[in-house]
């Protein structure tokens, strides 16, 4: 496990026992999930959105949660079992190399997670790979208003704290386009605010994998 993965797992294992909001936008609410959909939440944390997706997807659909933190995954699996969900699965996997088949999902969501990656181009290529042709993503995340200095980006603790790995909005949109999503739209966006030692803004983006 890399230093960064270790720092992320350490921080979120500890937070899995606490009752705090770790989201930064309305990805789930804007995802337009239909009955029968196969849905995936990347960086699912305690799995709240996975259970909400499973409810909408119904018996003919399936909701998957992907995370790197054992603490988060244990909590998510426990909640799903207590509530009797049968159309839910959780897997431990890094977002840069997702342990799921290609052309697998109708909908991919993610909330406040991709900024933790220093290889966000790889994460976006994986999102493109796992979506079925015609499938869509809705991702809430943060971007940095200015390029983040390397002294912060190279500090795995700061990246794990959900700010130092942020890229600028133009870089973020470029990663999405380079992955193959020729058109994406920003559905919501906050004003800039202070986070860690930088300024960030939150936004929610939607894009669709072309059918051919």
> Interface residues with ligand SAM (CB under 6 A)?
8, 12, 22-23, 43-45, 67-69, 72, 94-95, 111-113, 116-117, 162
- Measured from the CB atom, the residue of 26 and 192 that comes closer to ligand SAM is 26
Work out whether strand 198-208 and strand 184-189 pair parallel, antiparallel, or are unpaired: antiparallel
Smaller CB separation from ligand SAM, 94 or 106: 94
Q: For residue 8, which of 165, 197, 142 has the smallest C-alpha distance?
A: 165
Cβ 115 to ligand SAM shortest distance, Å: 9
Q: For residue 116, what are its two tokens?
A: 């933790």
Q: How far is the CB of 202 from ligand SAM (least distance, A)?
A: 11
Distance CA 176, CA 181 (A): 6
Contact (Cβ atoms closer than 8 angstroms) between residue 45 and residue 22: yes
CB of 93: closest distance to ligand SAM in angstroms?
A: 6
Q: Looking at beta carbons only, is 43 or 207 nearer to ligand SAM? A: 43
CB 186 within 8 A of CB 26: no
Whole-number minimum distance, CB 24 to ligand SAM, in Å? 7
């Amino acid at each position: 496990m890399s230093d960064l993965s270790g720092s992320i797992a350490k921080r979120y294992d500890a937070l899995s026992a606490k009752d705090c909001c770790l989201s930064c936008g309305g990805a789930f609410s804007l995802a337009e999930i239909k009955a029968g959909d196969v849905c995936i939440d990347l960086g699912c944390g305690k799995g709240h959105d996975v259970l909400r997706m499973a409810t909408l997807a119904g018996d003919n659909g399936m909701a998957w949660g992907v995370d790197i933190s054992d603490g988060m995954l244990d909590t998510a699996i426990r909640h799903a079992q207590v509530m009797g969900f049968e159309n839910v699965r959780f897997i431990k996997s890094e977002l840069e190399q997702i342990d799921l088949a290609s052309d697998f999902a109708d909908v991919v969501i993610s909330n406040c997670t991709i900024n933790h990656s220093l290889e966000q181009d790889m994460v976006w290529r994986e999102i493109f790979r796992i979506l079925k042709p015609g499938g869509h993503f809705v991702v809430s995340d943060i971007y940095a208003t200015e390029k983040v200095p390397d002294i912060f980006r190279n500090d795995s603790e700061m990246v794990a704290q959900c700010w130092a790995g942020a890229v600028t909005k133009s870089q973020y949109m470029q990663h999405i386009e380079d992955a193959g999503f020729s058109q994406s739209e920003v559905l919501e966006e906050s004003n800039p605010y202070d986070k860690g030692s930088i300024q960030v803004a939150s936004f929610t983006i939607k894009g669709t994998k072309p059918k051919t």
